[in-house]
A = this chain, B = another copy of it.
């Protein structure tokens, strides 16, 4: 098992990414041979050596990367040696079993989609995040890959999310909810109504529309939304959590409350859960947070490993075969 690590992606790359890699190696969580570091060879070797690593993982050298503000497809075309592209190539070529990237999310999605292709029968990739609620961890997707999905895409997100919740979170028969602004089947856009109808007629474990205030209350293990709404929900929760921690630390109640909040807010903390999984592409792709510091790296690596080991893609394909006839037809 080997994971390609994009050392150049993210706001604090490469220093924080390498710091996290070094800690993962020194702590014994990963063997050097389990990693493939994609980035500037000298910098990687120097920093890891200075940290005390005696054996350096294999390196795919590049100094090129897609910055956060770059347009993904333009960047990928003009920079064939961009670190994310080399990571994808490593997965496609079998040198790595999965990749972790903390950089430009759009570039990661585009590079993975073009470079790895889709799982057979899957139309569009979706980003799955896991969040902690009263019923334990649940899956929210799509968190931003596909802002204007067709009903069939949402249907496929449902089954991909269910496979993911089963494999990664251990929910035996995950309940699927469609994020909407009302519980009735007649609520929301035509796209949502069409998907609601197809899911209701399917053999998937669909519990219907779920409103945002029930996201955390344990009514489903999989919440499906378009990429605009899913991304917005995820970021609002993240921002709200940050606000609460900041506000708590400013208040008189001091460190006790702050640490309790931090603990509770594992919910929205990427550095605890490792990152978001890009589902639907023919490979294992974890999307770390652009703002990741070193402490996010080990959880990210462990998340990719788990993704790889549980074989969620195989289960997605199986589920697709079982439910394809129930999906809304493509126009």
A49 at the interface (CB under 8 A from B): no
Contact B235 A213 (CB under 8 A): yes
Query: By CB atoms of chain B within 10 A, which of A179, A233, A256 has the most?
Result: A233
Contact A260 B246 (CB under 8 A): no
Q: Is the interface of A mostly helix, strand, loop or mixed?
A: helix
Contact A181 B257 (CB under 8 A): no
**Given A228-B189, A236-B237 in contact, is the A242-B213 Cβ separation under 8 Å?**
yes
A267 at the interface (CB under 8 A from B): yes
**Given A148-B189, A229-B229 in contact, is the A216-B237 Cβ separation under 8 Å?**
no
Q: In the complex, which residue of chain B has the Cβ closest to the Cβ of A245? A: B264
Chain B residues near A133: list those with CB within 8 A. 243
Interface string of A232-262 (1 = CB under 8 A from B): 1111111111111011100101001100110
A125 at the interface (CB under 8 A from B): no
Chain B residues near A228: list those with CB within 8 A. 181, 188-189, 229
Contact A188 B240 (CB under 8 A): no
Contact A181 B240 (CB under 8 A): no
Chain B residues near A217: list those with CB within 8 A. 239, 242-243
A144 at the interface (CB under 8 A from B): yes
- A47, chain B: closest CB distance, angstroms: 29
Chain B residues near A251: list those with CB within 8 A. 260, 263-264
Q: In the complex, which residue of chain B has the Cβ closest to the Cβ of A144? A: B181
Chain B residues near A215: list those with CB within 8 A. 236, 239-240
Q: In the complex, which residue of chain B has the Cβ closest to the Cβ of A247? A: B264
CA–CA, A228 and B256, complex, Å? 37
Considering only residues 194-216 of chain A, those with a C-beta below 8 Å from chain B are 211-216
A147 at the interface (CB under 8 A from B): yes
Q: In the complex, which residue of chain B has the Cβ closest to the Cβ of A239? A: B213
Contact A264 B244 (CB under 8 A): yes
A330 at the interface (CB under 8 A from B): no
CA–CA, A170 and B230, complex, Å? 33
Contact B257 A239 (CB under 8 A): no
Query: By CB atoms of chain B within 10 A, which of A148, A232, A238, A253 has the most?
Result: A232
